[in-house]
Each structure stands twice: as structure tokens, then as C-alpha cells.
């Protein structure tokens, strides 16, 4: 008996309309659906055997998939949007994520026109493979504390990249361990013996002939990570420099420049642009949270409909576990959260577009509030999603502990989101600081966006609610709603 189709028949909403609401528009639904089918029907992208592969075979498998995806993108002339969806459905952390998601955007955002003209065509044709080398063994959240140095040598017009301590080793960059040929390396700029802040530098790591590390460069893989397949398809790496020289024009100079005489110049490009990029990246993390949580909820919901336990009368079938209140009170808030995270990520996208327009017009007043919104929502949604996936696993009883349920791998591959791009606890402290600052400035500064209500606090305090009971209504068509439901 097919319990699932029975359950599906009971739905009292328009499932096709919901698909479109989830995707954002009929066009976006069709695009993503087309790419999903392309991947699902291609045997190269099979992922069933992944958790059984040894580490070496895992990495080879990833290389095979990436190369095949790249071939498809070229052969089928896929747009960048289509390629993004294709990579998403391949559903495997890979060096290409960092190449397309961090290395190229770093050059686009921080490179001069000349630098973009030189490096982007190479990168976009994948004639070079890039990674993003920021985090060090000793420094994650405290970017200003990075220890790698880039010392300018006026005599040769070069920077000398160096790792002065063990803790200055670059540690974690995805794609670095085995595959990248180049990296954007963040280092302390030293000119004339003076420290001039942390900046990005394009550094070649490996030979384009035989892929061996260049002189002065020590590079390797940092070892196994949580889970069977999970992030072990990614070659997160360690990197050390022993006085490696690069030409001056490989410092990313859109914002700050070093002249060949060793002078530091600032362009009129606002530094705040970096925050714009942060808003963008964190908005995609919120969108990814909804995707990951919805997958876990989908597995747990289907299991709860099929699984029966207790309550049999007269030899009849037992009760579906989805009909138990203890199951519902744990599962349904997560289902609601997955939708809420989806729609709030759309709102964040519009917030980003607004911030971007304002930045281009040199208008920075809404940036702190936008930054606080994305920091807070990144922290909230990734924490809830990581915990929610594990809760879904427990909702599948013993079966959730098997890799074949899909949940252990989903958890293992998702949880770094609580740490990367801003540790969730550190981000919440930033939000708290912003809120306290906003309140303390109320007298002379008008609060904006989500904090605008604070400007009306005096009148709000005088209003009393006459509401006696409440009912939570979930509006699927108003995609801009910000709704977070918990069972606490």
C-alpha cells in the first residue's frame, strides 16, 4: 500500500502554485527544474556510492563530476544562472565552489580594471583554478590578526609573501590542498617597515606545466572532516610561504594601491563595498539554509507518514507516527521554518539590491542596519537548520542513523555553515552591539529599516493591545513575510 500518495491526496493547497511560490517565479521554477532533471538523469552525477569511497577515490570522483559539469556547461552553452543551478544539483562540495564563489568574485570586487582584464578570462575558462586563502591556523574570526606578511621590495617592484610562524599557515581554504593553481591570499601589507592593513594578493601556487608546488610554497591537504562523503570531497588545504616573490601588480588594488615608489594610495572607491559583498554572500547562505532544512524535513515527513508504531486495534495497522502529537510538535515547526527561511532569503535579496544601489550612489546610511539583518539572519537560520537536520534525523528513529537515510551526510555537510562566513555567536554579538548602538543614538539619529519602529517607541509604549487570543496564519503568497516559528 502506498501511504505517501494517500497523504498527498489530502493536501488542501495548490501544489503547483506552491512550487512556483517556492522558486520565486514560473521562470525560475522552470530553469531550476530543467537543471535538476539534467543532473538526475546523468549517470556521471550518481551520488549513491559516495559515502563508501575511500578519500583518494572520493577526490577523483569529484574531479570526474566537475569536469563533466564543465563540459555540459560549454556544450549546452548554459548561462551563468543555469550553471549555478547545475552545480547546486550536483550537490557535492568541490574546489569549483571556491573558484566560482570566492576567487572570481574577489577579483571582480577588489581588482582594478586592468587586473580583471588579465585574470578573469583565465579563471572563467578554468585555465587557472583559484582558491580563497584567508583563514589561518591561528586566526579565523579576527581577520585583522592574520600573520602572513606581504612585504614590498622597492628594489625589485615585488611583494615578498611570507609565513613567519606556525600559526600563520593558511588553514582550511577549499580547493587549496590538491587542486588550485592560484589563490587570493590575504596578508599584512608591509611597506617601508610599516603595517598598512590586511589586503588581498593573487599568488600562483602550482606550476601550470606539471602542477607541482612552486619554489618556496609548501601546500597540502588538512585531512578528514566530519562525515563519510560530506566535505571530504573538498581538498581543504594548508599553505606556507617561504619568502615567495610576486609582481607588485598582483596586489588587488581597486581600493588601495601601492606605487612602485612604495607609496600607499587610496582610490575613491568606498571601502564599504566590502560590506556589500558580505551582505550578498550571507543572503545566499540564508537561501541555502532553507534548501538544506527542506531536504531534511522532506525525508522526515515521508518517513513519519510511512512508519507506523503502536496503537494497533484488532490486528489492524498501527498508527502512522505523523499522527502523534510528539512527532508533530517537533516536525511541523521545522517545516514552517524551511518556508520562512526561503521567503526571508528573498527579502534579503531585495535588501542587498537596495544596498548595492545606494553604495553606488555613495549613500551608506542603511548599511549598518542591512549588515545587522544579514548577520543576524545568517546566524539564526544556520543554527536552526543545523539543529533541525539533527532533529529530523532523530525523528526517523534508528533508521535516521543509517547513511542510506541521507540525513547523516546532510548534517555533516551542512554544519560548517554555523562557523564559516562569520561564527554564529560572534555574529549575534555584532547584532547586539548594533541594536544597543541604535538605541543609544535614538536622540539624534533616525533608525532605519527593521529598526525604524524604535523611532516611534514613545507612541508605541502608550498603546495597549486588546487582543485576547491569537492565531498564526501562514501566507504563502506574500513572499516578503518574515516569519519564524518555534515550538518553544
Element (H, E) at 162: strand 158-162
CB 345, CB 286: distance < 8 Å: yes
Distance, CA of 179 to CA of 128 (rounded, Å): 10
- Does 79 contact a copy of itself by CB under 8 A? no
Residue whose entry in the numeric block shows the C-alpha cell 559539469: 69
Q: Is 435 exposed, middle or buried (0-12, 13-18, 19+ CB in 10 A)?
A: middle
Of 201, 188, 204, the C-alpha closest to 147 is 188
- Does 401 contact a copy of itself by CB under 8 A? yes
Near a copy of itself in 116-135, by CB under 8 A: 135
C-alpha cell at 142: 579576527
Please give the distance of CA 11 from its chain centroid, rounded to a whole number.
Answer: 33
Q: From the CB of 229, what's the least distance to a copy of itself, in Å?
A: 10
CB 39, CB 90: distance < 8 Å: yes
- Does 434 contact a copy of itself by CB under 8 A? no
Near a copy of itself by CB under 8 A: residue from 65, 99, 116, 139 = 139
Establish whether 318 is a catalytic residue. no
Residue whose entry in the numeric block shows the C-alpha cell 578554468: 126
Distance, CA of 256 to CA of 197 (rounded, Å): 10
CB 183, CB 174: distance < 8 Å: no
Near a copy of itself by CB under 8 A: residue from 415, 422, 427, 431 = 415
- Does 403 contact a copy of itself by CB under 8 A? yes
Q: From the CB of 338, what's the least distance to a copy of itself, in Å?
A: 21
Site string for a copy of itself, 294-333 (x = CB under 8 A): --------------xxx-x-----x-------x---x---
Residue with Cβ nearer a copy of itself (13 or 48): 48
- If one counts every other C-beta atom within 10 angstroms of the C-beta of residue 89, the result is 18
Element (H, E) at 150: strand 149-153
- Does 193 contact a copy of itself by CB under 8 A? no
- Does 416 contact a copy of itself by CB under 8 A? yes
- Does 173 contact a copy of itself by CB under 8 A? no
Residue with Cβ nearer a copy of itself (83 or 415): 415
Distance, CA of 166 to CA of 163 (rounded, Å): 8
Residue whose entry in the numeric block shows the C-alpha cell 534548501: 291
> Applying CB under 8 A, what is the total number of residues that bind a copy of itself?
48
Give 271-333 as a DSSP string: TTHHHHHHHHHHHHHHHHHHHHHHHHHHHHHHHHHH-B-S---TT-PPPBGGGSHHHHHHHHH
Q: From the CB of 180, what's the least distance to a copy of itself, in Å?
A: 19
C-alpha cell at 395: 525523528
- Does 357 contact a copy of itself by CB under 8 A? no
- Does 454 contact a copy of itself by CB under 8 A? no
CB 219, CB 149: distance < 8 Å: no
Span of 31-39, 82-90, 216-224, 472-480 interacting with a copy of itself by CB under 8 A = 216-224
Residue with Cβ nearer a copy of itself (368 or 422): 422
22 Cβ contact partners less than 8 Å away, ≥ 6 residues apart: 29, 339, 342
Residue with Cβ nearer a copy of itself (74 or 402): 402
Near a copy of itself in 25-54, by CB under 8 A: 51-52, 54
Catalytic residue among 92, 147, 409, 421: 421
Span of 77-85, 218-226, 367-375, 463-471 interacting with a copy of itself by CB under 8 A = 218-226
DSSP state of 243: S
Near a copy of itself by CB under 8 A: residue from 74, 166, 265, 429 = 429
Site string for a copy of itself, 227-256 (x = CB under 8 A): xx--x-------------------------
Residue with Cβ nearer a copy of itself (227 or 276): 227
Residues in a beta bridge with 171: 238
C-alpha cell at 465: 493591545
> Which residues contact a copy of itself (rule: CB under 8 A)?
51-52, 54-55, 135, 138-142, 145, 171-172, 222-228, 231, 308-310, 312, 318, 326, 330, 390, 394, 397-398, 401-404, 408, 411-412, 415-416, 418-420, 423-425, 429
- Residues marked as catalytic: 421
Amino acid at each position: 500500500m502506498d501511504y505517501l500518495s494517500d497523504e498527498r491526496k489530502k493536501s488542501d493547497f495548490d501544489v503547483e502554485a506552491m512550487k512556483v511560490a517556492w522558486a520565486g517565479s514560473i521562470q525560475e521554477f522552470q530553469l531550476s527544474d530543467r537543471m535538476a532533471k539534467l543532473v538526475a538523469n546523468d549517470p556521471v552525477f550518481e551520488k549513491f556510492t559516495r559515502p563508501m569511497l575511500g578519500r583518494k577515490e572520493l577526490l577523483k570522483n569529484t574531479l570526474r563530476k566537475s569536469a563533466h559539469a564543465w563540459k555540459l556547461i560549454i556544450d549546452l552553452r548554459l548561462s551563468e544562472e543555469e550553471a549555478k543551478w547545475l552545480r547546486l544539483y550536483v550537490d557535492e562540495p568541490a574546489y569549483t565552489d571556491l573558484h566560482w564563489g570566492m576567487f572570481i568574485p574577489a577579483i571582480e570586487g577588489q581588482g582594478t580594471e586592468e587586473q580583471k582584464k588579465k585574470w578573469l578570462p583565465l579563471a572563467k575558462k578554468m585555465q587557472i583554478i583559484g582558491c580563497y586563502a584567508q583563514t589561518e591556523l591561528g586566526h579565523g574570526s579576527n581577520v585583522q590578526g592574520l600573520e602572513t606578511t606581504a612585504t614590498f621590495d622597492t628594489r625589485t617592484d615585488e611583494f615578498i609573501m611570507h609565513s613567519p610562524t606556525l600559526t600563520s599557515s593558511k588553514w582550511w581554504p577549499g580547493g587549496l590542498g590538491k587542486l588550485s593553481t592560484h589563490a587570493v591570499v590575504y596578508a599584512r601589507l608591509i611597506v617601508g617597515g610599516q603595517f598598512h592593513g590586511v589586503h588581498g594578493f593573487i599568488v600562483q601556487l602550482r606550476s601550470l606545466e606539471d602542477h607541482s608546488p612552486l619554489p618556496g610554497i609548501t601546500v597540502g591537504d588538512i585531512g578528514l572532516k566530519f562525515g563519510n562523503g560530506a566535505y571530504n570531497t573538498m581538498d581543504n588545504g594548508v599553505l606556507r610561504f617561504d619568502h615567495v616573490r610576486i609582481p607588485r601588480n598582483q596586489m588587488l588594488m581597486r581600493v588601495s594601491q601601492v606605487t612602485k615608489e612604495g607609496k600607499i594610495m587610496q582610490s575613491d572607491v568606498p571601502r564599504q563595498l566590502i560590506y556589500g559583498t558580505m551582505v550578498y554572500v550571507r543572503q545566499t547562505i540564508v537561501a541555502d539554509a532553507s534548501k538544506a532544512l527542506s531536504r531534511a524535513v522532506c525525508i522526515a515527513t515521508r518517513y513519519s507518514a510511512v512508519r507506523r508504531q503502536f496503537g494497533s486495534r484488532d490486528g489492524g495497522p498501527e498508527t502512522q507516527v505523523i499522527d502523534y502529537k510528539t512527532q508533530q510538535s517537533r516536525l511541523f515547526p521545522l517545516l514552517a521554518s524551511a518556508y520562512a527561511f526561503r521567503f526571508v532569503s528573498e527579502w534579503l535579496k531585495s535588501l542587498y539590491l537596495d544596498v548595492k544601489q545606494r553604495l553606488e550612489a555613495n549613500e551608506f546610511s542603511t548599511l549598518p542596519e542591512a549588515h545587522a539583518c544579514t548577520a543576524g539572519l545568517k546566524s539564526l537560520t544556520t543554527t536552526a537548520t543545523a539543529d533541525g537536520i539533527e532533529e529530523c534525523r532523530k525523528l526517523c528513529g534508528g533508521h535516521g542513523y543509517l547513511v542510506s537515510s541521507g540525513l547523516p551526510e546532510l548534517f555533516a555537510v551542512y554544519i560548517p555553515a554555523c562557523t564559516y562566513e562569520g561564527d554564529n555567536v560572534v555574529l549575534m554579538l555584532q547584532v547586539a552591539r548594533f541594536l544597543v548602538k541604535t538605541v543609544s543614538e535614538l536622540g539624534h539619529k533616525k533608525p532605519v529599516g527593521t529598526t525604524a519602529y524604535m523611532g516611534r517607541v514613545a507612541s508605541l509604549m502608550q498603546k495597549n493591545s486588546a487582543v485576547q487570543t491569537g492565531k498564526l496564519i501562514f501566507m504563502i503568497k506574500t513572499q516578503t513575510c518574515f516569519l519564524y516559528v518555534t515550538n518553544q
